[in-house]
Amino acid sequence: MSKVQEEVLKANRAYAADFGAKARLATPPARRFAILTCMDARLDPARFAGLSEGDAHVIRNAGGRASDDAIRSLVISYKLLGTREWFVIHHTGCGMLLFTNEVMRGLLAGSLAPASFTGGQWQNTGQGPGSREGEYIEWLTIQDAARSVIDDVERIARHPLVPSTIGVYGYIYDVATGLLNEVPGAQRPAP
């Protein structure tokens, strides 16, 4: 067993020891909203949005992008579990700003080993083999953080499975201050 695995299981046992009333939390989120945000470890949606267990759905992916799968989760969140407002939250210093589809595809074609960011660019550090399967994936990279929030809010708001009664709000989380900053033009309030 790895050290990390041991630490996770130890922490889980301590958490479960005081689980108590959490076993009776309802499936629908109590505060009726969802957050779509980045998987970056510096973001703690429970803390920056004041959440307790059972309050909201939190959907995470690289960049916090409105991918087909993220929209699938949001639609389920609304249709079956009653959320009425959605927050799209990207952040400053996002790693998705540091590469393009072409860079990622090239790295994967050369090697499946981890790459490193050296001298302002990504480089493979391991040997091949690689795979060209990365060419079939849209990596949803970000060129401009505010523009990506606007694009994602618009994509969600215009999606044919998303009713106009859902409020969709776009923000950028500042990793240096912990503040959520509203992105002008990235708001679709509920009527």
**E-assigned strand segments in 92-179:** 115-118, 121-124, 167-173
Write the single-letter amino acid at 51: L
Domain ranges of the chain: 27-99+141-191, 100-138
| Span 15-42, pLDDT tens digits | 999 999 999 999 999 999 999 999 999 9
Superfamily in which the 27-99+141-191 domain is placed by CATH:
Carbonic anhydrase (3.40.1050.10)
Residue with tokens 């040997």: 127
Q: Note if the pTM is more than 0.85.
A: yes
Contact 65, 88 (CB under 8 A): no
Contact 83, 77 (CB under 8 A): yes
**Pair of tokens at residue 141:** 């990279």
Whether residue 173 is predicted with pLDDT greater than 90 in this model: the reply is yes
Whether residue 128 is predicted with pLDDT greater than 90 in this model: the reply is no
> What is the per-residue pLDDT for 190?
87
Whether residue 191 is predicted with pLDDT greater than 90 in this model: the reply is no
Q: Report angle CA 50, 52, 55 to the nearest 5 degrees.
A: 95
Q: Give bridge partners of residue 164 from the DSSP assignment.
A: none
> What is the per-residue pLDDT for 60?
98
Spatial distance between the Cα atoms of 146 and 155, rounded to a whole number of angstroms: 14
